[in-house]
Structure 1
């Protein structure tokens, strides 16, 4: 049975103390890939590496229910400033454990054992999918190429789009 494409409303949160709209090439590339794949780009925000600012931005999108998918980029490394997983996972209603696992497998193809430094995670917050990607263009490209397969029911029979109406079931 052929399924129809359903464009999803997607936002991007760049986590960085140094990037600006002009210098965030990874975020710009993500936006272009989202639009090129037929989805609706809602907005992009840039926040500092601060778990409270990260949580506030993601919580706003989840509470307003205007965003179906949020992509974060940056802050998933191991330095003292990297706090995206700590900020976001606390908000998860459910974690999508397989995403981080498969992301690291894919990343291994390009960067070898350095992939152990990636703390990419994903989950669901109030019916909104959240995918936390590293900040590099290569990582964002790899991440989107994995995510996009689950956001287009024409590409796989078992996908995240089909689950959207059921995410808030009690």
Structure 2
């Protein structure tokens, strides 16, 4: 049966949060703040939080540095997943993926469709694995970040989620 198995001890992981925006800073980054609050409330640790402009080279550099850091288990980015010319987060993510997790984007759009209807089709939200680190790209809206965390990530980043979850696979991500 699907759900949290309370008989298993919870495992806390380190999550880096990156807001991608040309206009936000720590004072008005509500999406990044919501993610950090939810990460901590769940019992995980915010390893680091940054805000970078919509620049694919800078994004790849930061994401790559976090992926190479053995203390970072997962990275959540918010912003830059749309279809405009400045939206380059997805391209930065995909340049680093060793394996893409297509089901994440598909499920996120389904969750979004329940709330915002056909506007969900505009999201290019994606996920993948790089150097044993999970990467999740979320839209920049606070509502989208809440939906992604509350409906998907809170469960998949909980090692007690049954029948399976991302955390229990972490020791095997670098297998050859």
* TM above 0.5: yes
Alpha carbons 1:13, 1:72 under 8 Å: kept: yes
- Give how far 1:47 is off: 0.5
Partners in 2 of 1:156 and 1:132 — Cα distance? 24
Partners in 2 of 1:62 and 1:27 — Cα distance? 19
SS at match of 1:90: helix
Partners in 2 of 1:68 and 1:53 — Cα distance? 20
- The residue aligned with 2:172 is 166
Please, what TM-score do these two structures have when normalized by structure 1? 0.97
Partners in 1 of 2:8 and 2:135 — Cα distance? 24
Comparing 153-162 with 121-130, greater Cα deviation is found at 153-162
- Give how far 1:154 is off: 2.1
- Report how many aligned residue pairs link the two structures: 170
- Give how far 1:97 is off: 0.6
Choose the corresponding residue for 2:96, options 91, 94, 117: 91
Choose the corresponding residue for 1:53, options 49, 58, 62: 58
SS at match of 2:162: coil
Alpha carbons 1:12, 1:71 under 8 Å: kept: yes
Please, what TM-score do these two structures have when normalized by structure 2? 0.94
Any runs of at least 4 consecutive aligned residues in structure 1 with deviations exceeding 4 A, and if so which? none
CA deviations 1:8-64 (Å, max 9, x no partner) are 000101000000010101100110000000001111011110100110110010112
| Alignment map for 1:15-164 (pairs within 5 Å) | 15-145=20-150, 146-164=152-170
Partners in 1 of 2:35 and 2:69 — Cα distance? 22
Partners in 2 of 1:147 and 1:25 — Cα distance? 18
| Unaligned residue ranges in structure 1 (runs of 5+) | none
| Unaligned residue ranges in structure 2 (runs of 5+) | none
Partners in 2 of 1:65 and 1:50 — Cα distance? 25
Alpha carbons 1:150, 1:156 under 8 Å: kept: no
